[in-house]
Amino acid sequence: MRKTVTTKNNSGIDIEFPNKCPRCHTGILPTELFAFDYKDSKNARIAYVVFRCPVCEKLFSTEYLISERGDSLVTLRNYPTMHVAEDFSEEIKKLSPKFCQIYNEANFAENENLNEIAGMGYRKALEFLIKDFATRNNPDKKSAIEKSWIVQCIKDYIDDKRIQNLAEKAVWLCNDEAHFLREYGDIDTVSKIKVFIKAIVNFIESCLAVEEAEKIEKRK
Ligand SMILES: [Zn+2]
**Any domain includes 220:** no
> What's the total number of domains in the chain?
2
Examine the domain organization and report whether 34 and 101 are in the same domain.
no
pLDDT (mean) for 110-114: 84
- pTM, two decimals, is 0.72
Examine the domain organization and report whether 37 and 143 are in the same domain.
no
pLDDT at 96 over 80: yes
Counting residues of the chain whose pLDDT is more than 90, the rounded percentage is 57
Question: Which of residues 110 and 175 earns the better pLDDT score?
Answer: 110
Examine the domain organization and report whether 39 and 113 are in the same domain.
no
**Any domain includes 30:** yes
* 75 CA to centre of ligand 1 in angstroms: 18
Examine the domain organization and report whether 102 and 202 are in the same domain.
yes
Q: Write out pLDDT tens, residues 134-175.
A: 999 999 999 999 999 999 999 999 999 999 999 999 998 888
Residue range(s) defining the domain that contains residue 48: 2-79
pLDDT at 204: 97
* 53 CA to centre of ligand 1 in angstroms: 5
pLDDT at 173: 86
Tell which of 79, 98, 118 closes a domain. 79
Examine the domain organization and report whether 71 and 12 are in the same domain.
yes
* CB 204, CB 159: distance < 8 Å: no
Q: Which of 37-51, 141-155, 173-187 has the lowest mean pLDDT?
A: 173-187
**Any domain includes 141:** yes
Examine the domain organization and report whether 109 and 193 are in the same domain.
yes
Examine the domain organization and report whether 191 and 98 are in the same domain.
yes
Tell which of 23, 50, 79 closes a domain. 79
What is the DSSP annotation of 34-48? Answer: EEEEEE-TTS-EEEE
pLDDT at 139: 96
* 123 CA to centre of ligand 1 in angstroms: 33
Examine the domain organization and report whether 157 and 55 are in the same domain.
no
In whole angstroms, give the CA distance from residue 122 to residue 113: 14
* 51 CA to centre of ligand 1 in angstroms: 10
Q: Write out pLDDT tens, residues 194-216.
A: 999 999 999 999 999 999 999 99
* 103 CA to centre of ligand 1 in angstroms: 25
Examine the domain organization and report whether 12 and 74 are in the same domain.
yes
Tell which of 19, 53, 79 closes a domain. 79
* 67 CA to centre of ligand 1 in angstroms: 29
Across-strand partners of 4? 14
Examine the domain organization and report whether 123 and 68 are in the same domain.
no
Average pLDDT, the chain: 90
Termini Cα distance of the chain: 62
pLDDT at 209: 95
In whole angstroms, give the CA distance from residue 11 to residue 164: 58
In whole angstroms, give the CA distance from residue 95 to residue 90: 8
Examine the domain organization and report whether 46 and 149 are in the same domain.
no
Examine the domain organization and report whether 38 and 140 are in the same domain.
no
